[in-house]
Structure 1
Amino acid sequence: MVKNLPNRSEVPIEETWSLTDLFAIEKDFDAALEGIKNEVTSFVDNHKGKIDSASTINDALKTYASIYEKIVPVGTYASLSLSTDQTNTEAQMRASKFGSLSAKISSQLSFINSELVTLSSEVIQEAIQLSPEYEHYLTKLLIKKQYQLHPEVEKTLAAFSTTFNAPYKLYGTTKMVDLSFDNFEVDGKSYPLSYVSFENDWEGETDTAIRRTAFHAFSSKLKEYQHTTAVTYDMHLQIEKTNADLRGYDSIFDYLLLDQEVDRSLYNRQIDLITKELAPHMRKYAKLLQKEHGLDKMTFADLKISLDPTYEPKITVEESKKYIKDALGVMGEEYLGMVDRAYDERWIDFAQNKGKSTGAFCSSPYGHHPYILISWSSKMNEVFVLAHELGHAGHFYHSNKEQNIFNARPSLYFIEAPSTMNEMLVANHLLKNSNDPKFKRWVISSIVARTYYHNFVTHLLEAAYQRKVYERIDQGLTVNADILNEYKREVLEDFWGDSVEINEGAELTWMRQPHYYMGLYPYTYSAGLTISTQVSRRILSEGQTAVDEWIDVLKAGGTKSPAELAQMAGVDITTEEPLRDTISYIGSLIDELIALTDEINQN
């Protein structure tokens, strides 16, 4: 039974993460803020107007890196403390305090890039020869040189950075603070509803009447906020469009893809191929769910149900540790040591409480250990979610240790490969250790319903919808709730065809996803999973060689492009082959589910 969520102060401390590794007490946080202010002032005095040679470039970047390393934990502390309880006034004020500081120092430090781009390529190359560790930073800067504005304009834009980030903050406040759900009733019985309970429980509820009523109640409440949320999103889109136009990009897509180090063909291919070629497989899966549950019809509200709800193991946090360590054992002792520390040293926030951010994420501040947020529901499915976030943690645990702060983060295009890799390793391990048809069906259905549905369907359809939105914005137009609802419904109907009824409320799904405030992020989930599917299959067939190459990829951080990182792991993403092969693999999994179901039903 789903219960009303407790306040943050009421959850057991052992279920929460410990942010004291960042700052032991609030005074330390305030002292760090003051120290950063002073260092930035000193940096400006010592370097502004004086970056004119290879040696002065490297001196400036060395000090800038040091300042950046001190800013990261401060920003992380402010962000993470708010993410666990967005109703907490103290956390709100702390985040605002950091936001104000961040905008001020971004403006003060904007001169660095402005001065660097005025220097000749020869001077930049000389600086790279003297200090190769700054090659990646300087090379990327040269690529962006044509889009750099006048120094005073850059300084002004940087000063407005907090204002430009306001739509995302406003979205989160509306979603997690203002939006409050009433209980819903089925057959005279009342059930509590919240964002967390809907996404963790009611969306996958086996009782059809309860599930569909919960969906209707949830969607009805979202609808009350659709216009405010649409205006908030449009504000964000117009900021991005203005930035792209001011800087002289041909399109908003070019502006957003530049940092990802991929061209538009890879972006479009990911969306177009999956929309066209995965749809028939997923429609077959939807029909299987409908048949097994004896549904009168398959609706959008039914897509998250388990194929076999009677075989959904419950699992404690402590039990999850053994499953994950056994599954990730192939990654080696150092990796497993990181997993142990994540549990033992409270890197993970498991609690469910009011005001906590929905979903799950991993924050990996440079120079510090990662932090993982998850709302533990005790379902075995959470093992895949936690393994996913530990994949991010393992990635940055390695890259942060091996690379400097400028080189640690890879392109957004690649960011979901290490996380989805861990989901594949968990699935491979579970399948290898049982021949029981019911257990095999549960594992495979978990891969399809969680790993592939989440990354190749949910996020991919978000990407297809997002592309429609950006194409409209690129024409100089705006969006409102009606337009966004129409676009979302079109994408859903196109993918599911007549196999799934897109019931009222499904079009509001765009309101649930914060990724839209993070550029072209949604499509990268399927891009990352394409890479990890191929590499995980290599690990199954080649063993340690493939593992060692993957660890080297993690250590490389952002020093190579996504195509180069994938190539290191034996995958060529410049061709359609890996994506087509992955889609085919998903199809084979669904066919196996159908065969296993027939076998089970005959016994």
Structure 2
Amino acid sequence: MSAGLPNRESVSIEETWKLEDLVPNEAAYEEGLVSLTKATDAFVQQWKGSIHTSEDAVTALKAYEEIYLTLIPVSTYGNLALSVDQTNTEAQMRASKFGSFYAGLGSKLAFLDSELLNLNEKILMDAAHLAPEFAQYLDKLIKKKPHQLAPEVEKTLASLSSTFDGPYELYNTTKMVDLSFPDFEANGSMHPMSYVKFENDYEVENDTELRRNAFDAFSKELANYQHTTAKTYDMHLQTEKTLSDLRGYNTIFDSLLFSQEVDASLYHRQIDLIMKELAPHMRKYAKLLGRIHGIDKMTFADLKISVDPSYEPKISIEESKKYMYDALGIMGEDYIEMVRKSYDERWIDFAANKGKSTGAFCSSPYGVHPYILISWSSRMNEVFVLAHELGHAGHFYLAQQEQSVFNSRPSLYFIEAPSTMNEMLTANHLMKNSDDPRFKRWVISSIVARTYYHNFVTHLLEAAYQRKVYDHVDNGGNVHAGLLNEWTREVLQEFWGDDVEINDGAEYTWMRQPHYYMGLYPYTYSAGLTIATEVSQKILSEGQPAVDRWIDVLKAGGTKTPAELAQMAGVDITTEQPLRNTISYIGSLIDELETLTKEIEGK
């Protein structure tokens, strides 16, 4: 459990999100399930075996769209209600029940894609011409045809969807419900421990004994669950391998990259180039941290400390508004109006309470509005986290105004570009408004420690580890805790070399990341930030024209591939130049940190 945190029912309602915008009450939720069942049964009765012409295809897709739009708020409600308190048995049961309901729904509707693909391709193209809002859906369906299975097999797989989701649900239950941390000792006092408290506070704690003891206590408790968590992960991996083989993909990588609409070379380049060329810059950064803090030997537990912790101010939720309005103001009044609404209409869940999911995320149900989860710690660092999630919110808020439900969401490869762009805009704004060396150092260190470390180091190292895992599973292997620990340690050691001691407990880092249950997600953070870095530099040099292009990119949603979206903003990700530019930019920031530190210490 989350020691030292209040129960969900004790937090201020003003710090919670308003789920009533999705579903007014529990009775309406239940009515929604009944309505969906009736609509689905009627759809099956009308259209199963009856789609023969392009006109039939369009009419059927419009009816399907109505079901899909009705499903979105109901499913989102269940997921979000559970994410804020996974100890709530009512929320657990609702989510579990919905998983079974959704699987049944999917099984009934699975015939649609199969019957559409049985049509002549010209009929599908004519349907796309008749109804352009379905063009993307049909185009992706045609591309998927080589991997489509027999209708009854697709129906069976759809009915098993809740079973396939089981490992991820089990992972979250282990992490947020069963995993309980005892108090630990540091500096002669006892301190409470929880997942949220470690990741929000202790991991960035300035006091070395408190920080390292917290790391040891946290890691020790993780170790008690390593075998259960590894077995859970292996279940997920073997399911992915089986489905990849069933659908005729050559590798799991091909299977998972298919929907991302990028070539495997972009995936491997992102990992290989950063592992090789960013590592020297980050080792230099680690040495700088050690020198500033008087640490003779930096360890893995020390890497997230602040360059200047005494300078970082505490900031309230109310105070964060001005930073968001000022930093993101360059995006225009419509965008800022969305940010205002996110505060005023309770789109954001700020509360830190027991059982709440760790980290932060944004859910953007079509036809409603975005929802952001964050556990506000009052650290200035949270301004960057919030800007990041508002980047997701703004992206889908604009895309959904312009695109149909099937066209609004781009490839996973591009998802993190708008979010990390907002972090860059926040840093650019702060830098522009002060010439004070200490403030400039704080801003630069924030962008290095938060934006780049998180996206270009933390998630990239996870991606390098994940690639080892999938290589092993692709060759017919299973995983266990010993292997996962070994690969995690190998990746960390390769990146940090002899400049950072990979202390005991670092090998359990793989246990902390839910993204491993979401396909090839970790590497996309650095991919998105590569695009965001390039575009943010264009905004600095070009001003409004670059902003206008970026707004157009956001509005395009999923109507273009990642390479096409990046090209709209003036970035060519088919070459390695944007990534090399970004790595060089990170290096220049670290060089500037060293220069500013010498200037400050020389005063």
TM-score w.r.t. the length of structure 1 is 0.99
Query: Is residue 555 of structure 1 aligned with residue 555 of structure 2?
Result: yes
Is this contact kept in 2: 1:74–1:98, CA < 8 A?
no
- Looking at structure 1, the residues matched to 534 and 115 of structure 2 have their Cα atoms a distance apart, in angstroms, of 43
The equivalences for 1:106-125 within 5 A come to 106-125=106-125
Corresponding residue of 2:580: 580
Matched, 1:305 2:305: yes
What secondary structure, in the 3-state scheme, does the structure 2 residue paired with 1:260 have? coil
Alignment map for 1:80-229 (pairs within 5 Å): 80-229=80-229
**Matched residue, 1:52:** 52
Q: Deviations over 1:270-323 (max 9, x none)?
A: 000000000000000000000000012100000010011111111000110001
Alignment of 1:560-575 (within 5 A): 560-575=560-575
2:233 corresponding residue in structure 1? 233
SS where residue 362 of structure 1 aligns?
strand
Unaligned runs of 5+ in 1: none
**Residue number in structure 2 paired with 1:424:** 424
Which residue is 1:40 aligned to?
A: 40
Code of the aligned partner of 1:184: F
1:187 Cα deviation from its structure 2 partner: 3.4
CA distance in 2, matches of 1:529, 1:186: 37
Tell me the secondary structure at the aligned position of residue 309 of structure 1: coil
Alignment check: 8 A CA contact 2:376 2:382 kept: yes
- Secondary structure at 2:372's aligned position in 1? strand
2:453 partner letter: Y
Equivalent position of 1:396 in the other structure:
396
1:455-474 maps to which residues of 2 (within 5 A)?
Answer: 455-474=455-474
CA contact (8 A) 2:3 2:194 kept: no
2:490 corresponds to: 490
Please say if residues 360 and 389 of structure 1, whose CA atoms lie closer than 8 Å, have aligned partners that are also in contact.
yes
In structure 2, how many angstroms separate the alpha carbons of the residues matched to 1:117 and 1:524?
30
One-letter amino acid matched to 1:208: T
1:277 paired with 2:277, answer yes
Q: Percent identity?
A: 70
- In structure 2, list runs of 5 or more residues that go unmatched: none
Deviation at 1:186, TM superposition (A): 1.5
Aligned partner of residue 310 in structure 1, secondary structure: coil
Aligned equivalents of 2:278 and 2:188: distance in 1?
41
Deviations 1:314-347 (A, max 9, x none): 1000110001100000000000000000000000
Aligned equivalents of 2:381 and 2:128: distance in 1?
47
Q: Which residue of 2 aligns with 1:601?
A: 601
| Alpha-carbon distance, 1:93 to partner | 1.1
One-letter code aligned to 1:389: E
The within-5 A match list for 1:340-379 is 340-379=340-379
Query: Deviation at 1:362?
Result: 0.2
The answer (yes or no) to whether the contact 2:107–2:159 under 8 Å persists in 1 is: yes
Distance 1:113 1:234 in 2: 30
**CA deviation after TM superposition for structure 1 residue 594, in Å:** 0.2
Determine if contact 2:187/2:210 at 8 Å carries over to the other structure.
no
Q: Report the RMSD for the aligned CA atoms in angstroms.
A: 0.8
Q: Would the aligned equivalents of 2:3 and 2:354 in 1 still touch at CA under 8 Å? A: no
Mapped contact 1:79–1:95 kept (Cα < 8 A): yes
Partner Cα distance (1:187, 1:450) in 2: 28
Q: Do the aligned residues in 1 keep the contact of 2:187 with 2:209 (CA within 8 Å)?
A: no
In the alignment, the residues of structure 2 paired with residue 296 and residue 573 of structure 1 have an alpha-carbon distance, to the nearest angstrom, of 40
- Residue 453 of structure 1 corresponds to 453
Secondary structure of the 1:379 match is coil
Q: For residue 118 of structure 2, give the secondary structure of its aligned residue in structure 1.
A: coil
SS in 1 for 2:575: coil
CA distance in structure 2 between the aligned counterparts of 1:176 and 1:276, rounded to whole angstroms: 35
Count of residue pairs brought into register by the alignment = 602
8 A Cα contact 1:238 1:473, kept in partner: yes
Q: Which residue number in structure 1 is paired with residue 441 of structure 2?
A: 441
Q: Secondary structure at the match of 1:413?
A: helix
- Give yes or no for contact 1:204–1:306 (8 Å, CA) kept in 2: yes
Instruction: Give 1:3 shift.
Output: 7.5
AA at the equivalent of 2:378: S
Q: In the alignment, residue 246 of structure 1 is paired with which amino acid?
A: L
1:363-393 deviation line (CA, Å, top 9, x unaligned): 0000010000000000111000000000000
